[in-house]
Amino acid sequence: MTIHKEGRTLLFVLLLLLFAVNAAMAYFFPEHRLLQNVIIVGSIVLYLLILQFFRNPVFSIVKNDNHVLAPADGKVVVIEETEETEYLKSRRKQVSIFMSPINVHVNRMPVAGTVSYFKYHPGKYLVAWHPKSSTENERTTVVAKMKNGTEVLFRQIAGALARRIKWYVKEGQPLEQGDEFGFIKFGSRVDIFLPLNAKITVKPGDVTLGGRTVIAEL
C-alpha cells in the first residue's frame, strides 16, 4: 500500500496545520486538558480519514485481451443498453460504477489499447447517481482502441463531493490493461461503454476492485 501522488502535498499541509492547531491549544490553553485531548483525537481521526482517500494498493494485474477489468473500486449501479452519443454514436452496453468516499480513487485502464479520443467537459456537480450526471456533470471521456480495432469508451464523472478530476492520458498514447489513467478526489462515478456482444459478468450491487474485477468478456 502506498500514498497516491495526488494526496501527498495535501496530506503534508494538513499534517502541519493540525500540528499547529494542537500546539496552539497546548500553549494558549494549558489548563484545558480535556479540550486538548478532544482536539488531538479529532485531529487523528480527520487525518486518517483523509489519508485513506489517497491510498494506492500495490498488486499484480492479470492481463487478458478478452477481459474488461473494472476501471474503479466501487459498486455497480447501472447495467443497461444505451445510445452513446458523444463519440461512438451507436448502441452500447453501459456499466456504471459508483465510488464512495471510502473507496480507492485510482482509475485504471479496463483494456489495453491506444487512446483514440479524449475530451474534458466542464459541468455541474449533481450527485453521482443522478440520471443526468453522465451528461451534465464535470467529466472526461476516454476511448481506447484495442489491437483488434474494438473501441471501448469510459468516463470519469464528478459528483456533489468529488470536484477534482485528474487524468494522465492524451490522444495517441498507448496504455496497458490496468495502467492508471486518472484519479477522482473523494469518489464519484465511472461509466464504461462496451460493444453489444460483450458478456457482462457483474450485476447491479456487485462490489468491484479497479484493475482486478472482470466486469465483462469480449
Give Cα separations from 143 to 146, 181, 199 (angstroms): 10, 11, 19
Q: Tell me, what's the pLDDT at 136?
A: 66
Closest by CA position to 96, among listed 76, 124, 110, 80? 76
Residue 100 annotated in active site? no
Higher pLDDT, 53 or 110: 110
Average of pLDDT values for 76-81? 94
- Residue 126 reports pLDDT greater than 90: no
pLDDT of residue 161: 58
The secondary element (H helix, E strand) that includes residue 50 is helix 33-53
Cβ atoms of 136 and 123 within 8 Å: the answer is: yes
CA nearest to 108, candidates 58, 151, 148: 58
Contact of 118 with 71, CB cutoff 8 Å:
no
pLDDT in tens, 12-60: 999 999 999 999 988 888 888 888 889 999 999 999 888 877 888 888 8
Which pLDDT score is estimated for 206? 96
pLDDT of residue 124: 65
Backbone angles phi, psi at 91, to 5 degrees: -70, 140
Kindly list the domain boundaries of the chain, sorted by start residue.
2-56, 67-217
Mean pLDDT is highest, among 28-42, 107-121, 126-140, for: 107-121
Give the highest mean pLDDT range of 22-31, 82-91, 162-171. Answer: 82-91
Percent of the residues in the chain that have a pLDDT greater than 70, as a whole number: 90
State the CATH architecture for 67-217: Distorted Sandwich (2.70)
Residue 77 backbone class (left: φ over 0; alpha: ψ -120 to 50; beta: rest): alpha
Average model confidence (pLDDT) for the chain?
88
Mean pLDDT along residues 141-161: 89
Cell, residue 129: 447517481
The rounded distance, in Å, linking the Cα atoms of 197 and 45 is 47
What pLDDT shows up at residue 49?
84
